[in-house]
Structure 1
Amino acid sequence: MTKTQEIVHLNLDLSPELNEKLEEIAQKIGGTKSDVLRQAIALMQIAIAAKEQGKKFGIAESNQPLATEINIP
């Protein structure tokens, strides 16, 4: 993010459990909760684009078909 970009601040209500998950993920990636949410949005954009192109989005074993398909409504 450059200094010329405007930053929007959000107020987000989460359950204590979801906040704990967010903190755990942030710790695992060595980032902040904001970093986790930015990366989650990027993944959603990829999943939605794939769906719009008639593709599947999911998790696969190396050189194997999808082990888990992530369905986006």
Structure 2
Amino acid sequence: MSVRLNLVLSDELNREIDKAAADSETNKSEILRKALQLYLAARDGKQRGLKLGLVEPKTEKLQTEIIGL
């Protein structure tokens, strides 16, 4: 079963999603599905006391902690 959602985006966010879809050779729906999955994973991690961040692959050093999700 699937659900259809209506979503209102700013022009700027819509352009960014269009660009991300083109860059990854996919479509907006797939970009938004992945974004929601990432959000849910971050929320689950936060509930378990974990943090979300971007890590430098070679040094494994945290470059950016993502907050506010």
Q: TM-score, normalised by structure 1?
A: 0.81
Q: Count the aligned residue pairs.
A: 68
Which segments of structure 1 move beyond 3 Å, counting only runs of 4 or more? none
Q: Among 52, 66, 69, which residue is 2:62 paired with? A: 66
Alignment of 1:1-73 (within 5 A): 6-62=1-57, 63-73=59-69
Deviations, residues 26-63 of structure 1 (Å, cap 9, x unaligned): 11221110000000011111111111111111101023
1:3: which partner in 2? none
- Contact 1:48–1:72 (8 Å) recurs in 2: no
Q: TM-score, normalised by structure 2?
A: 0.85
Percent of counterpart pairs with the same letter? 38
- The CA RMSD measured in Å over matched residues stands at 1.3
Task: Mark the structure with the bigger radius of gyration.
Answer: 1
